[in-house]
Amino acid sequence: MRKYCEVCGKEVETKVISKEETYVVCGESIEVNAQVLVCAECGEEFYCEELDNATLLHAYNEYRRKHKLLLPEEIRKIREQYNLSQRGFARLLNWGDKTICRYENGAIQDKAHNSLLLFLREPENMRIFLTENEVSLDEKQKKKLLDTVDRLEQDSEFRVGIRLFDHFFSRIPCEENGFKGFDYEKLCAMVLFFANKCTEILKTKLMKLLNYADMVFYKENGISISGLKYVHLPYGPVPDNFDMLIGKMTADHIVHIEVTFDNGYEKHQVIPECEVTSRALSEAEIEVLERVYEKFKDFGSVQISDYSHQEKGYCSTQQGEIISYSYAADIQLS
């Protein structure tokens, strides 16, 4: 992109550099690694709305991580688990009508509010909350909510699933998962996105596409999409415990693997069983998935493996090691 530089007094080439910047979030200074557009000749900074927004989002996520605050979509999930509207949930909690709406749209939540939401994530705690507090619901609404709690509690798969996933996939944001707790629904949506878009997709290629999508999204937003950890294996960076996840997705009728033989080689083809549900992915996430798809659509499994072997994150790690999202800064799609 060419721009007019006031310092040089002419139109110049620009480039994006990384630099430490300090943002004030809720009265606290947060250091972030910002991407800044500068004049390639004299280094003068230019304002760039997209980069600036990405840095701000990064700062907000860094603040949330520091204070162990739920992410906006984690709050939405808690609410949706109980089939409540934003306003209905806010009223139940005796908060202002717009409070939940603001939190789900990215406003930083009050710490006491965060604790209550974390507590209510568990259905048994919602039952305690409903029975021990005077809540502003009429009898009919209260019964409906208690029925939902019953269903969630009885749904043993829901409970076992949570325990299993907590064991193998960290729900605590850290550098290894791109500062996002593992999100099975996002993963399913990403897998379905690629599996439906490609006429034929092999498991090995899918794993690379997931890796690029998460890394590129992290590079631009300071958070991954799926919360997966990626590990260095001989054939490239792959999601940690991916076979277990494929097993779960098969049981849930999301996708299944079809094994075929081609010239004596086993091919593991990923077959989608449904479409991506709307709202499963944000616009920004879809935009990154599209870019990754476009970049690699004509690459075979071997080609994309070779390509991913050259990434700094792969070159700098040993076999079996987790590849930190901090290497995402070096990933280039173009």
Site string for Zn ion, 242-271 (x = CB under 5 A): ------------------------------
Give the residue with the Cβ less far from Zn ion, 45 or 50. Answer: 45
Q: Does 73 bind Zn ion (CB under 5 A)?
A: no
Work out how close the CB of 33 gets to Zn ion at its nearest, in angstroms, rounded to a whole number.
23
- Residues making up the chain, counted from first to last: 334
> What letter would DSSP give residue 277?
P
Work out how close the CB of 5 gets to Zn ion at its nearest, in angstroms, rounded to a whole number.
3
Q: Return the number of other C-beta atoms located less than 10 Å from residue 158's C-beta.
A: 14
Q: Which of 21, 41, 73, 122 binds Zn ion (CB under 5 A)?
A: 41
Which range touches Zn ion (CB under 5 A), out of 41-49, 69-77, 103-111, 200-208? Answer: 41-49
Scanning 169-311, the segments in alpha helix (DSSP H) are 184-197, 203-221, 242-251, 283-296, 301-309
Give the residue with the Cβ less far from Zn ion, 5 or 213. Answer: 5
Is 75 within 8 Å of 117 (Cβ atoms)? yes
List Cβ neighbours of 263 (8 Å cut-off, separation of 6 or more). none
Q: Which of 14, 21, 23, 44 binds Zn ion (CB under 5 A)?
A: 44
Question: Residue 186 has which token pair?
Answer: 């996002």
Q: 152 φ, ψ to 5°?
A: -65, -40
Q: How far apart are CA 10 and CA 317, in angstroms?
A: 44
**28-39 and 45-46: which strand pairing?**
antiparallel
Is 18 within 8 Å of 34 (Cβ atoms)? yes
Give the residue with the Cβ less far from Zn ion, 43 or 96. Answer: 43
Give the residue with the Cβ less far from Zn ion, 7 or 17. Answer: 7
Tell me the residue type at 205. K
Q: Which of 16, 24, 26, 42 binds Zn ion (CB under 5 A)?
A: 42
Give the residue with the Cβ less far from Zn ion, 2 or 140. Answer: 2
Please name which of 68, 87, 273, 111 lies closest in space to residue 188, comparing C-alpha atoms: 273
Q: Which of 32, 39, 289, 328 binds Zn ion (CB under 5 A)?
A: 39
Give the residue with the Cβ less far from Zn ion, 11 or 275. Answer: 11
Which range touches Zn ion (CB under 5 A), out of 1-9, 73-81, 259-267, 285-293? Answer: 1-9
Work out how close the CB of 178 gets to Zn ion at its nearest, in angstroms, rounded to a whole number.
35
Give the residue with the Cβ less far from Zn ion, 10 or 68. Answer: 10
The alpha carbon of 177 is separated from its chain's Cα centroid by a whole number of angstroms, namely 9
Site string for Zn ion, 7-36 (x = CB under 5 A): xx----------------------------
Which range touches Zn ion (CB under 5 A), out of 26-34, 37-45, 208-216, 241-249? Answer: 37-45
Site string for Zn ion, 123-162 (x = CB under 5 A): ----------------------------------------
Q: How far apart are CA 239 and CA 208, in angstroms?
A: 9
Q: Return the number of other C-beta atoms located less than 10 Å from residue 87's C-beta.
A: 14
Work out how close the CB of 49 gets to Zn ion at its nearest, in angstroms, rounded to a whole number.
20
Give the residue with the Cβ less far from Zn ion, 11 or 31. Answer: 11
Question: Residue 109 has which token pair?
Answer: 């939540």
CA dihedral 138, 139, 145, 147 (to 10 degrees): -170
Is 214 within 8 Å of 224 (Cβ atoms)? yes
Give the residue with the Cβ less far from Zn ion, 8 or 315. Answer: 8
Could you identify the residue written with the tokens 């991954």?
A: 224
Work out how close the CB of 19 gets to Zn ion at its nearest, in angstroms, rounded to a whole number.
16
List residues binding Zn ion (CB under 5 A). Answer: 5, 7-8, 39, 41-42, 44
